[in-house]
Structure 1
Amino acid sequence: MNISMIKQRAREIARVNKAILARICLIVGVIASIPSLLSSDNAIMSILHVIALVLLFAVEQGYVVAGLKAVTDREQELSDNDGVYGLVNWVEYLPTYLTRVLVNFVCVFIFVAVIIVCTIGSFGGLFAILSDPYGVSPITGIASGISTVSAICALIVVVLFVFVICWVNLRMFAMTYLHQEYGIKGFAALKESFTLMKGHCWDLFLINLSFIGWIFLCALIDMMISSLFGDNGISGLLGSVLSAAVAAYTYQPAYITVQALFYKEIAYKFYDEGRI
């Protein structure tokens, strides 16, 4: 797969449709920023924050819709309504986005469990607790377990976790596109995406890596505003909206276009094989 050609073609498509794509990205970004308004230490506000996150699970589907239209010669169909597509069709796309969240949750859960085992199950703490569970307090066992060996094990586990979580998310990349084009949703979309992305994870990683500078810039802007005004309430919303605006009018039109074009490229073999 020629990544350079895909990126070049995507930039040309994004340049022609930059105005409308930027507006769509801005609409999606602003909607996705709403939960930051509810971010607070207050229990009620925290509950509302979680509810808002759930209700906005599928808002990013607007990127998928706009990207696919741009790369399949349907530019004339692009409209601001694409920015709210995922929000309006929340029920339809919830299974797919929820599946993606659950897979990440399982990965994190396993990671935390392994870290705990590495900490309290090292050569000191675990054996002490098992040999004399009443004579050795859990705190003493845990403290003795934090040794050089356990620290090294924990570091290795962290590195492996980062690798695994990146790999899993790369393999899940096509889920939302398969749902959009073929109505394949939930765990079925997960299975098909893993099959479709086999052998292409590194290509997608390189594509994402080429945008890392812009992504860090938007994150930096958000952090700067948060450090100046705080990250709760209006100030938190302001930071999120501003970073979303920077993303929408700089790299994001090209980013969603190249991702949609990449998906269409790797999906060709599915057409040839008659699987979809």
Structure 2
Amino acid sequence: MARSEWHTVFALGLTVVLSLVRAEGSHAAEVVDDRTIAYLAQDIVPCITSSSPPRGACIDAAALLAEQTGLPIRVKILPQIRVVREIRLAQRQITIAVPETMISTGSTSVRVIAKIGHLSTYLLPGRHLDPAHIAESAAWKGKTIAVIRGGCPALSGPLKNALAMHVAEASQALKMIQRKRVDGLCINGQALANVIRRPGFSWQDFGPPVVVEQRELWLLASSGITQNVETQLHDASAKLVADGAFRRLLASYMQSMPTPLQLR
């Protein structure tokens, strides 16, 4: 069993307890407050942008929910496949995700609590492509698009005539675009904005980003969440959506991105 570390951070005026579990770990340390809810955070950008100290959209979202509900929330950082598996267990757990990535057909083990926003998928083209046509799906026929962990459903839809090349990291894909080894990168907008801020990259090195699809983000819960807590989470999410808190959170990870084009 991997070593678990407990950290306390102060966010939005509330203490949020974070349990950091390494990828090879099993379960987090024992929870001392029986009201505690585990937030299962996917160890990918923008959900987690830094593990020491822990930062990212999921840390921020957990803090918002904890402040709004008054419930202690423990963040458990796991690989994406572990989140998919563990959210289906009958425990006090929540996550924010695109529902179809977490819920199998006919499953009743995961509850859909509330819609909190949208996640846009972007296509970042190389500067070597004709800018007059990069927003046309037909122009991508035969072009090679880098994909990270299979995260580009558009390759089964409007970009189905493009070729996919699976890469390990977004920074690797950007370097491949710069060297003209691939023609573009398909990735969610927050992750793209995060990686392009790293040394060696700038928006001027690439063509204008293109929105290829939008998917809904929902707060999901395991069946171990009681009806009372589910109601608290639903009402808290509705308020955070209504006052724009979730929208501002997602937008904060998109800073500096140029105005995108829309795929047609």
Q: Which has the higher contact order (CA 8 A, sep 6+)?
A: 1
Structure exhibiting the larger radius of gyration computed from Cα positions: 1
Q: What TM-score, normalized by structure 2, do the two folds share?
A: 0.27
Q: What TM-score, normalized by structure 1, do the two folds share?
A: 0.26
The answer to which structure has the higher helix fraction is: 1
